A and B are shown apart, each in its own frame.
Chain A
Amino acid sequence: MTVTVLLFASYADALGTSAIELDVPAGSTIRDVLGTLSSLPGGDRLPPRPLVAVNEMYAPADTELRGGEEVAVIPPVAGG
């Protein structure tokens, strides 16, 4: 199945892109997707447990994905 990973700010700089289509095995969790991301060039610059949002809602790392989701890896927010 495929998920769309969105990267922002320092994380986008680390991976050199702001969006990646990832093909992951059925039943993959957010943690699995983060594991795949960390193996990409620059992925070692992501922290081990970043905040993640699935379809614009914060979600825990053990959330199982169904495919087609927008998985956003959220750097420390700094609004205001």
Chain B
Amino acid sequence: MRTALVDRAIDVSALIAETGDVSCGATSVFLGCVRDVNDGRPVTGIEYSAYRTMAERELSSIAREADARFGVSRLVVEHRLGPLALGDVSVAIVAAHPHRAPALDATRYVIEQLKRRVPIWKLEHYVDGTREWVGAAAQTPTEASHP
């Protein structure tokens, strides 16, 4: 099991090779990628930042929980930070297991928990030159009144 925040492109093939084993009949791969539109606004790129030490700790906890729940110890999670372009992989979760159900369940668990708990933020850059922290407007009264 391995989790990491990285400042370079994620090599998905390397992660699949890392988790692979002849005992594993199933490998589940989840990739999060930078999308070209958010809430109807055309996006040109996203800058990811984190509370790095806590994010590493939370990611590691989530992977251990996935192992405890689904028995998936052949699990690798990488989340990229810094400026990303459209289509770039921002997060990769690879889980290998003798059978498909635990592998699929583990990847789903990790991405759902990651989105809920891991202190990572994205600053979206839009085609019109503006930029905005994703999710910030909804919970900050002052910003919400100036959408």
Residues of A within 8 A of B114 (CB): 79-80
Cross-interface CB contact of A56 among B54, B122, B139, cutoff 8 Å: B54
Cα–Cα distance between A26 and B134 once the two chains are bound (Å): 36
CB contacts (< 8 Å) of B119 on chain A: these are 8, 53, 72, 74, 77, 79
**Size band of the interface chain A makes with B:** 20 to 34
CB distance A75 to B141 under 8 Å? no
Verify A75–B133 contact, CB threshold 8 A. yes
A74→B142 CA distance, assembly (Å) = 17
**Contact of A47 with B139 in the complex, beta carbons under 8 Å:** yes
- Tell me if A45 and B140 are in contact (CB < 8 A): yes
A79-B115, A79-B120 known; A44+B53 contact, CB < 8 A: no
Output the least CB separation between B19 and chain A (Å).
20
* Chain A residues within an 8 Å CB radius of B136: 9-10, 75-76
Decide if the interface of chain B is mainly helix, strand, loop or mixed: mixed
| Interchain CB contact under 8 A, B143 and A8 | no
Indicate if A6 sits at the interface (CB-CB under 8 A). Answer: yes
Complex CA gap A4/B143 in Å reads 26
* A40 interfacial by beta-carbon distance below 8 Å: no
Q: Which of A26-61 contact B (CB under 8 A)?
A: 44-47, 50, 53, 56-58
Known contacts: A56-B57, A80-B115. The answer to whether A72 contacts B32 by CB under 8 A is no
A47 and B120: CB pair below 8 A? no
Segment 79-97 of B: residues with Cβ below 8 Å from A: 79, 90-91
**Could you pull out 25 A-B pairs where Cβ atoms are within 8 angstroms?**
A6-B51, A8-B49, A9-B49, A10-B140, A45-B140, A45-B143, A46-B140, A50-B139, A57-B54, A72-B54, A77-B117, A77-B120, A78-B115, A78-B122, A78-B134, A78-B135, A79-B48, A79-B55, A79-B79, A79-B91, A79-B114, A79-B120, A80-B32, A80-B79, A80-B111
Q: A9-B123, A79-B121 are in contact. List 7 more A-B contacts (CB 8 A).
A: A10-B121, A10-B136, A45-B140, A56-B51, A72-B54, A76-B139, A80-B114
Interface residues of B (CB under 8 A from A): 32, 48-51, 53-55, 57, 79, 90-91, 111, 114-123, 133-136, 138-143
